[in-house]
């Protein structure tokens, strides 16, 4: 594009050499516009005006596109990292192990306790609103579901 406009400037203004016209085209399109080269022919002024409008608009569009692509790439990388963290088998294993260790720790500290912990998200997934451990029988009897206030307070103090 610069080469074409430089050639047109050479033809329109005969006292400009091709190198000078190319220099003018590059400086003008980069929006620096030093003003060290004077365009005095009316036809050359029109060519320079069209050149400025075309190249500055093209530069703005190119920078806008590059910025959009950079932002989109950043979002995709962030999303990919989130998905990788979510699907990391070792992380899932560690979380599962921590969950099971916490349950076993509770059972050793409170032997004979009927209180079972199940995170709410897991309870909702298996269709039950209770916090019982999956695989254990849920009887529905009130005396098995709740402990009296004294034993709850004792459990809290011992932890």
Full set of structural domains in the chain with CATH: 2-85 (1.10.287.70), 90-158 (no CATH)
Residue, of 140 and 60, whose pLDDT is higher: 60
* pLDDT tens digit sequence for 91-149: 667 766 776 777 777 777 777 766 555 555 544 444 544 444 444 444 444 444 444 45
The backbone region for 31, taken as left when phi is positive above 0, alpha when psi lies in -120 to 50, beta otherwise, is left
Nearest alpha carbon to residue 114 among 79, 86, 139, 96: 139
d(CA 92, CA 105): 20
What is this structure's pTM?
Answer: 0.41
């Amino acid at each position: 594009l610069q080469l074409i406009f430089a050639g047109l400037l050479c033809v329109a203004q005969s006292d400009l050499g091709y190198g000078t016209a190319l220099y003018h085209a590059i400086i003008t399109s980069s929006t620096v516009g030093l003003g060290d080269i004077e365009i005095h022919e009316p036809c050359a002024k029109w060519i320079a005006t069209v050149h400025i409008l075309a190249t500055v608009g093209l530069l703005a569009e190119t920078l806008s596109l590059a910025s959009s692509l950079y932002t989109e790439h950043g979002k995709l990388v962030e999303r990919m990292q989130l998905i990788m963290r979510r699907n990391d088998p070792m992380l899932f294993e560690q979380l599962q192990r921590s969950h099971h260790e916490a349950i076993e720790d509770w059972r050793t500290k409170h032997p004979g306790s009927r209180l079972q912990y199940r995170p709410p998200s897991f309870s909702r997934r298996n269709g039950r609103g209770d916090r019982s451990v999956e695989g254990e029988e849920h009887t529905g009897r009130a005396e098995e579901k709740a402990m009296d206030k004294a034993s709850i307070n004792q459990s809290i103090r011992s932890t």
